[in-house]
Structure 1
């Protein structure tokens, strides 16, 4: 697996980063804040921020930002784990683009929908300038935006995939959570799909279920999900067989 592909998977697999903006209250100093994000159809991180927030005021004056993403699972030794710094220019989304990005964002962060009716919050996309990825020992380097494929060809059908799975195959979604993540979730939902995998929420906790092979169409996603369900069912049968 190439370093560039690994950077793509890493950014898709996580939901939070440290957003650094150019401080206006203390010029010359960076200002960092933890910010949720999702990727747009074009593969740009999208953030949902209030005009009252310090980082939004900073962006209005200077759109140059960075988003540093790391894995919380590496808390014991975060410097030993992978991390990515996404240098970008932040831009407010137009009404149509914000509506499209918003629907995906609200699936990933349902509580954020409560802010949708206010004028204080808006969606911003981070357009990449350069990426710095540390994937482990000996895997450190700069990556140009054109060399990281984060676009989502499934964007036009993603909401339909999620709705179909959650309405007609809720048992399968729970099975994914149970057998791949050891989570017996009371509420399990599929919230997103891209060529590299699907994203789930298990009682609100985000989970990333990767595909073994890329899926660029709805039918390919269907085949990957069927294969994953077969794995889960085989594991279930093996477990019950050992217990009997």
Structure 2
């Protein structure tokens, strides 16, 4: 199946994710969770597009989070017109255009949610140095749609529902996240290395978990690890983590 469609003699257009012929939703969600910085596009007062570099984390459902200074042009633009987009690019060796990237368009709104703050600072610990400066504040980019380029001949469009996790029924996992993260980092560093597939090089640290998977960092490296099946409560999460560690040890990593 082709990953693009044509309309008459017009240019090829990306297919919806459900018709793309590859796991567009899985790849898009991995980029959302694993890329820590990207290009933020906003609109200047005269309508001119303005792009800048920002650091990114995600909320439990995958909503992109940013810590922005109100002294910056992009923040002033968003406060005047919340429309914006974020480019998530995995990067890598060779041709930059051969690697997957995701553009998420939506509306950026200020957030004072304690969970947003905690998840962002876990992902970017150095930001604790300036997070409480009076001109800084957290913003959430509420996605409207996504455009995924998965590499050569792989493109798809995604809806908000395909980009984000539905947390209904998994509230216990969201509520128990902080305790589980602290416990894993304090007592199970060896398991975290196994989950990341990198037992001999680390140390890996868990920055967040959700009903679909967990996010890890080691220095500048990141890893997004999904469970064999989504979980809806802490008991299922514990069983999944134990089974994953056991399988990794049995497989040699």
| Shorter-chain TM-score tier | 0.7 to 0.9
Which of 198, 210, 216 is the aligned partner of 1:181? 198
1:36 is aligned to 2:55 = yes
> Alpha-carbon deviation of 1:30?
1.4
CA distance in 2, matches of 1:139, 1:219: 38
Which of 39, 43, 48 is the aligned partner of 1:22? 43
- TM-score with structure 1 setting the length: 0.82
Aligned counterpart, 2:148 = 133
Return closer, same or farther for 1:37/1:91 CA change in 2, 3 Å cut-off. same
Which of 227, 235, 238 is the aligned partner of 1:222? 238
CA distance in 2, matches of 1:191, 1:158: 10
Give the match's secondary structure for 1:101: helix
CA distance in 1, matches of 2:220, 2:27: 26
Asked if the contact 1:9/1:196 (under 8 Å) is kept, the reply is: no
Return closer, same or farther for 1:205/1:48 CA change in 2, 3 Å cut-off. same
1:4 is aligned to 2:25 = yes
Return closer, same or farther for 1:162/1:126 CA change in 2, 3 Å cut-off. same
Aligned counterpart, 2:215 = 199
Give the match's secondary structure for 2:41: strand
Aligned counterpart, 2:225 = 209
Q: Which runs of 5+ in 1 are unaligned?
A: 238-244
Aligned counterpart, 2:99 = 81
1:46 is aligned to 2:71 = no
My pick for the range that moved more, 61-70 or 77-86, is 77-86
> Alpha-carbon deviation of 1:171?
2.9
Aligned counterpart, 2:3 = none
1:165 is aligned to 2:184 = yes
- TM-score with structure 2 setting the length: 0.80
Normalized per residue, the structure richer in helix is 1
CA distance in 1, matches of 2:219, 2:27: 28
CA distance in 1, matches of 2:23, 2:192: 30
Give the match's secondary structure for 2:237: helix
Give the match's secondary structure for 2:250: helix
Asked if the contact 1:183/1:202 (under 8 Å) is kept, the reply is: no
Describe the superposition over 1:10-56 as per-residue Cα deviations: whole angstroms up to 9, x where unpaired.
322322221011124xx332111121212223432110001111211
Give the match's secondary structure for 1:214: coil
Q: Which runs of 5+ in 2 are unaligned?
A: 1-21
